[in-house]
Amino acid sequence: MLPDHGLFQGIEGDDGSGLACAGIFATITTLTRITVLRHAINLGKDAATKSGTTYDRISRNTRTMSMLW
């Protein structure tokens, strides 16, 4: 288990792998500062990577806009 020292924030993508990885993602969701993005069906690694990149870009813009207001 990763210690939470507030040093990083992570994004983990569940590409819809199903039961094979369910235990891993269940553990990851208990960690603070980790956001798990899930696809309902298996769309593959590339789609999960794109979802994570998009989420990161949008959340950074949101945080930046919040600081400006």
pLDDT band at 4 (very low <50, low <70, confident <90, very high): low
pLDDT (0 to 100) of residue 60: 75
pLDDT greater than 60 at residue 46: yes
For the chain, what are the domain ranges? 11-68
Rounded distance between C-alpha atoms, residue 32 and residue 6, angstroms:
9
List of residues 6+ apart from 35 with CB closer than 8 A: 9, 10, 11, 12, 55
Mean pLDDT of 61-67: 52
Which pLDDT tens digit goes with each residue over 18-32? 888 888 888 888 877
Residue 34, beta-bridge partner list: 10
